[in-house]
Amino acid sequence: MTLLRTRGLTAGYGPVTVLHGLDLEVAEGEIVVILGANGAGKTTTMRAISGTIPRAGSVEFEGHDVHKSAPDAIVRAGIAQVPQGRGTFPELSVEDNLKVGAFVRRDGGGTIGTDVLRWFEVFPRLAERRSQRAGSLSGGEQQMLAIARALMSRPKLLLCDEPSMGLAPLITQELFQVLERLNKEEGLSVLLVEQNANLAMHMADRVYLLETGRIVASGSAAELSADDSIRKAYLGF
């Protein structure tokens, strides 16, 4: 079943149009990766889907048109974003950052507390630092916190924008293993923007290549990897 579908998605900043009519889909249980050079429009795509910038065109989630919905309504519908740059609240504790991630939920404080403990189990480093200010964490720990905070809303689709940026390879591998495990064990769908094409291709079910705000190629990771011209021009391996 198709979870997310965009048709003719157009967005930008002021008079500058960055995205030019994107058509993309994410099915239930899929990991879909968007690859492209800096300035291709990857982050703008994520912001347009999550409703944090003005957009035109169609954005459907579980068959419902959400392109006019406010960002909090989109989170409530089941889409959560891990933004580029992490976006944690530096003066709040690790635990309070997680609780903020559940602000749209209406299922009561008891289950929120249970979920906090659950993500502490998934990310033990956060449990060790639960009372620390988020701003005092390392870059890798802040990225773990950003992912866990997004998951506190119990999304069906997780948007991850450059999760490996500025992180050591071992930390990046650890984060990607968590995402893969949540995908395989719990069916979490993931739309991932990532500069590390090699790493992203290994976990992707399908891939979109973005260039100057347009999709120039799409297909399975195996199909795109087998195309010499695409591999050399876009994938760097």
Rounded to whole angstroms, the Cα distance separating 173 from 229 reads 28
CA distances from 214 to 16, 49, 210, 218 (A): 15, 15, 6, 11
CATH 3.40.50.300 domain position(s) in the chain? 1-78+155-168+188-237
What does pTM read for this prediction?
Answer: 0.94
Q: What is the per-residue DSSP string for the chain? A: -EEEEEEEEEEEETTEEEEEEEEEEEETT-EEEEE--TTSSHHHHHHHHHTSS-EEEEEEETTEE-TTS-HHHHHHHTEEEE-TT----TTSBHHHHHHHTTTT--S-HHHHHHHHHHHHHHSHHHHHTTTSBGGGS-HHHHHHHHHHHHHTT--SEEEEE-TTTT--HHHHHHHHHHHHHHHHHH--EEEEE-S-HHHHHHH-SEEEEEETTEEEEEEEHHHHHH-HHHIIIII--
Copy the structure tokens of residue 73. 């309504």
Q: In the prediction, which pLDDT does 7 show?
A: 98
CATH number listed for the domain at residues 1-78+155-168+188-237: 3.40.50.300
91 vs 225: which has the higher pLDDT: 91
Report yes or no: 104 and 72 within 8 Å, Cβ to Cβ. Answer: yes
Q: In the prediction, which pLDDT does 106 show?
A: 66
Overall average pLDDT of the 58-86 stretch = 93
- Band of pLDDT at residue 103, cut at 50, 70 and 90: confident
Rounded to whole angstroms, the Cα distance separating 225 from 237 reads 9
- Band of pLDDT at residue 183, cut at 50, 70 and 90: very high
